[in-house]
Amino acid sequence: MKRVEIAPNLVIATLWADALNAAGMRAEVFSRYLTSIAGEIPPDQCDPAVWVLDDADLPRARQLVRELRNPVRGAVWTCAECGERHGAQFAQCWKCGHNRPMSTPD
């Protein structure tokens, strides 16, 4: 078991762990509720941390968390099937399910 990242809060830690699990890496959040004892132990030891259960997943997990911390920026694209407009971070149309083309003219 290896620590991937210390999160700024429980919500972010949970989102990261959920994303890792969805990507096929078993992940857990530890130190979920230690903020309630901040002061009794050093505050920097109270932040929740995301861990992967399989050590081999660590490089891939850290890469995914980096991507989550730095979302995709880019041009808006329009679905060729239904005409719905989407932000650059979306690879698939939420309305019809059509995949974004590799290069978009918009």
C-beta separation of 82 from 93 below 8 A: yes
Q: Which residues pair with 52 in a beta bridge?
A: 2, 27
Contacts by 58-63 with C-beta closer than 8 Å and gap 24+? 58/2, 58/4, 60/23, 60/25, 61/4, 61/20, 61/25, 61/27, 62/4, 62/5
pLDDT of residue 54: 96
Both 42 and 14 in one domain: the answer is: yes
Residues 6+ apart with CB under 8 A from 24: none
Mean pLDDT value across residues 19-39 = 90
Report CA-CA distances (Å) from 54 to 11, 21, 25, 51, 59: 23, 12, 8, 9, 11
Domain that holds residue 95: 72-106
* Percent residues over pLDDT 90 in the chain: 58
pTM of the model: 0.66
Categorize the per-residue pLDDT at 90 as very low, low, confident or very high, splitting at 50, 70 and 90.
confident
Angle at 67 (CA atoms; ends 61, 71), nearest 5 degrees? 155
Both 20 and 56 in one domain: the answer is: yes
Both 62 and 85 in one domain: the answer is: no
Both 80 and 40 in one domain: the answer is: no
Cβ–Cβ contacts within 10 Å for residue 78, how many?
16
Q: What's the number of domains the chain is made of?
A: 2
